[in-house]
């Protein structure tokens, strides 16, 4: 049986952003919510999934080439809210304003790492802060939390993250990092 690894592409957060976001979404916390540990917070770019370990070198090369093609950019926090569908949320997320360079980077990663996946949706820049527990009734709708001052997230690099399933939360680690726009 071939060894597999679970991978995703994401950007790391500045040290001060994670604690700020965790403090801001406290009004959403109750016994139906499982907060994401601080060390697992990231800006999702593309979820790869389980792949044979032998494909890691190819994924590294593709990610490196894509990083060279994209420029660094800065995202603006829009709100902290239930999502992705407000009427049937699965999580609480920090949703950022759309940005063309984020969309381009996500699409390039998706096209290179999962070329056969049909019906790819336009990605929403976000950081998952908590997930609703499974088998609960639909969560009570709560208003989103708007930032009191502009909160930004500079994205200067793309990282290959490994996800090892564990309880109560997966363990994430960065395997490789590539600066955007660098040759």
- Looking at every residue in the chain, the average pLDDT score rounds to 90
Partners of 35 in beta bridges: 130
Q: Give the span between the Cα atoms of 60 and 93, in whole angstroms.
A: 28
Q: Give the span between the Cα atoms of 72 and 78, in whole angstroms.
A: 19
Give the residue from 158, 170, 165 showing the smallest Cα distance to 39.
170
Given a contact cutoff of 8 angstroms between Cβ atoms, the answer to whether 152 and 76 are in contact is yes
106-123 tens-digit pLDDT: 999 999 988 776 556 678
CATH numbers and ranges of domains, the chain: 4-179 (3.90.1140.10)
- pLDDT band at residue 183, thresholds of 50, 70 and 90? low
Tokens standing for 53? Answer: 């370990």
11-63 tens-digit pLDDT: 999 999 999 999 998 888 888 889 999 999 999 999 999 999 999 999 999 99
Residue 1 predicted with pLDDT over 80: no
pTM given for the model: 0.90
């Amino acid at each position: 049986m071939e060894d597999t690894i679970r991978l995703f592409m994401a950007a790391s957060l500045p040290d001060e952003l994670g604690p700020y976001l965790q403090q801001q979404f406290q009004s959403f916390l109750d016994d139906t919510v499982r907060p994401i540990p601080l060390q697992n917070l990231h800006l999702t770019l593309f979820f790869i999934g389980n792949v044979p370990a032998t494909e890691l070198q190819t994924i590294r090369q593709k990610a490196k080439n894509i990083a060279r093609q994209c420029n660094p950019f800065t995202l603006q926090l829009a709100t902290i809210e239930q999502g992705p569908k407000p009427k049937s949320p699965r999580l609480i997320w920090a949703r950022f304003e759309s940005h063309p360079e984020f969309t381009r980077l996500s699409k390039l990663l998706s096209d290179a790492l999962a070329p056969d996946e049909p019906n790819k949706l336009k990605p929403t820049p976000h950081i998952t802060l908590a997930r609703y527990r499974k088998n609960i009734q639909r969560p009570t709708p709560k208003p989103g939390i708007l930032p009191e001052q502009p909160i930004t997230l500079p994205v200067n690099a793309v990282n290959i993250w490994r996800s090892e399933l564990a309880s109560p939360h997966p363990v994430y680690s960065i395997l490789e990092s590539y600066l955007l726009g660098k040759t």
